[in-house]
Amino acid sequence: MAISDVREYMHLTEEQVEELGRELDAIREEVEASRGAADAAYINRLIKIQRGLAVAGRLTLMLGTQSRRTRVPAVLAGTSMLALHKILENMEIGHNVMHGQWDWMNDPEIHSSNWEWDTAQPAEQWKHSHNYVHHQFTNVLGYDNDIGYGILRMAREQRWNVFNLGQPVYNALLAGLFQWGVALHDLDLEKIRKGEKDPKEMKRQLRQIWRKGRNQALKDYVVYPALSGPQWRTTLKANAAANFTRNIWAYVIIFCGHFPDGAMHFTEEEIEDETRAEWYLRQILGAANFEGGPLLHILSGNLGFQIEHHLFPDLPSNRYADISVRVKELCAKYDIPYTIGPLHQQYGQALRTIIKLSVPNGWTSDDKPPQPPAKPDSPEAPPIDKGRKSDAERPPRRSELGAWSRGKQAS
């Protein structure tokens, strides 16, 4: 069952929750005060590596494929470098820059207000759907649009219909076409279907998506293949393979952080008069980490520390490993579950949930941790539709979630 009161669920007193909040605030303050040259060097070095991979990959495909003897190794090397370039740009650079993690540097080239990433969704729409909606209302049913991305049933509380029988197919399509699925995410297709979307805003967003998607397609499937001359087909296929690899990787990482068994869902009642400390507690309960070495964490945008990212979305990602040690200690101190496991286990649990929830609840068992016993006079909650709240119906944002420039881009 979805949680309607995180404090009661964890059997914590109001004083304990507020003390947890103060301790987490102290971590934030310490990290903010210690940001400096080493952190700036990290992100600048990573951007150089990412851009170097892009140049090396393009040159390898253009020059190395001219000879039959070097064609196969050039294709493999060039495609691999392009895939790594796209993964680094999307995961550890673009996603984190747009969260405002590096705004403190006051570098206009690495600032959340200016960064436009190498994927199909416009940055403005991403910052709204992700930074605000998802991070403010993490796993709150009816509020968080990331619970199933509008096509997957990811919670037993969500109403089942026959459309859900196709979830394994929708999931496979979403994984392979992830950048295009995300590009449509902020449109809110459910509101469009119900005729509740503002037509002017919908047209403005569609124009943004069209321009961004067109530019992405032209770059990868027209311009660079044309520059390769007779080997244009090879370059086109390599670009498609790099995009596909990036899509699958981003999809797996995101699903591992939000849908394993330990990542809980919440009802609308939980966020009524929610304090900052209770928001912190909900972030811990609603996210999941995965284990791995430094390279895996860099390639995943340090989202193997999804719990820490949800607690401190605007702190530099290279600090999450150190922060996680202190967060684990706090979870142990207050007896709060800290969900973590190997990458394959976390994704396996998410995939199992997708398959199980494609059929009615009565056909399968629940894998989530149990709720406390319901009060005798508490009626059973009705199934929740996938209808989602508008900005006017959502509370104000928290300052650490960043900003977005709704409507300021040319339309």
| 356-385 pLDDT, tens digit each | 999 998 888 776 655 544 444 444 455 555
What local confidence, expressed as pLDDT, does residue 197 receive? 85
| 320-368 pLDDT, tens digit each | 999 999 999 999 999 999 999 999 999 999 999 999 999 998 888 776 6
What local confidence, expressed as pLDDT, does residue 388 receive? 53
Q: How sure is the predictor about 251, in pLDDT bands with cuts at 50, 70 and 90? A: very high
Say how far apart CA 321 and CA 18 lie, in whole Å. 24
Average pLDDT over residues 116-127: 93
pLDDT of 288 above 70: yes
Which residues share a beta bridge with 290?
A: 341
Residue 366: DSSP 8-state: -
What local confidence, expressed as pLDDT, does residue 360 receive? 94
Amino acid residing at 349: Q
Picking from 9-13, 36-40, 267-271, which range would have the lowest pLDDT averaged per residue?
267-271
Which residues share a beta bridge with 266?
A: 3, 140
What local confidence, expressed as pLDDT, does residue 330 receive? 97
Query: E strand or H helix at 307, and its extent?
Result: helix 306-311
Nearest-5° angle of CA 152, CA 134, CA 371? 70
What local confidence, expressed as pLDDT, does residue 398 receive? 65
